[in-house]
C-alpha cells in the first residue's frame, strides 16, 4: 500500500493534534459557560481538558496516550464514577460538542460529521452509564479503540 492509498485517520482529517487541541479548548470553554453543565465542569479536575485531548487523539487514530497514561476505559470509569450524569446533561454535552465542531471549523463533510456525531453520542451514553451510583466496574476492561469511519 502506498502513502497515497493509506487511509487517512480522523485525526489527520481534522488537521492534526493542534487542531484537536483548539477544538477541545473551545468546547471546554462552552461547558464552563453552560447553565446546565457549568457547575459540573467548573468543579472538575483541571486535567479534564488535556485528558479529553488525549482521549480524542487516540480514538481518532493518533497516539495511544490516553490508554498508556490514564488507563484507558478504566480511567474513563474512574473519571465519571458517581457523577450521576442525567439524560439532559448528556444531551447538552453532545449538543455543545457538535456546536463546537461547527464553531472551530472542523471538516463539514458528511462522512466525518456522521461518524463523529455517532461516536460522540455513543461515548456520552457510555459515560452516563458509568456515572450512575452503583455502576459496576467492567472486567476485563475493553480497549478504548479507534473510531471507524
Between 148 and 10, name the one with better pLDDT: 10
Does the residue 81 lie in any domain? yes
- Give yes or no for residue 2 having a pLDDT over 70: no
Domain membership of residue 142 (yes or no) is no
State the CB neighbour count (10 A cutoff) for residue 136.
8
pTM for the complete prediction?
A: 0.88
CA distance 97 to 88: 14
Closest CA to 49 of 75, 31, 36, 34: 31
Asked if the structure places residue 105 within a domain, the reply is yes
**Interval 37-74: pLDDT, tens:** 999 999 888 888 999 999 999 999 999 988 888 887 78
In a domain, 50, yes or no: yes
Q: How many domains does the chain have?
A: 1
The CATH number of the domain where 55 resides is what? 1.10.490.10
Amino acid at each position: 500500500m502506498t502513502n497515497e492509498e493509506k487511509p487517512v485517520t480522523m485525526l489527520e482529517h481534522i488537521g492534526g493534534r493542534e487542531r484537536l487541541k483548539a477544538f477541545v479548548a473551545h468546547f471546554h470553554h462552552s461547558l464552563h459557560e453552560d447553565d446546565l453543565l457549568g457547575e459540573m465542569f467548573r468543579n472538575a479536575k483541571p486535567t479534564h481538558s488535556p485528558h479529553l485531548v488525549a482521549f480524542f487523539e487516540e480514538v481518532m487514530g493518533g497516539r495511544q496516550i490516553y490508554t498508556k497514561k490514564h488507563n484507558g476505559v478504566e480511567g474513563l470509569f474512574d473519571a465519571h464514577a458517581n457523577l450521576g450524569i442525567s439524560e439532559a446533561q448528556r444531551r447538552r454535552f453532545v449538543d455543545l460538542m457538535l456546536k463546537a465542531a461547527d464553531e472551530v471549523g472542523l471538516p463539514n463533510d458528511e462522512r466525518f460529521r456522521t461518524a463523529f456525531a455517532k461516536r460522540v453520542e455513543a461515548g456520552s451514553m457510555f459515560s452516563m452509564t458509568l456515572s450512575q451510583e452503583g455502576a459496576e466496574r467492567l472486567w476485563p476492561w475493553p480497549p478504548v479503540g479507534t473510531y471507524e469511519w
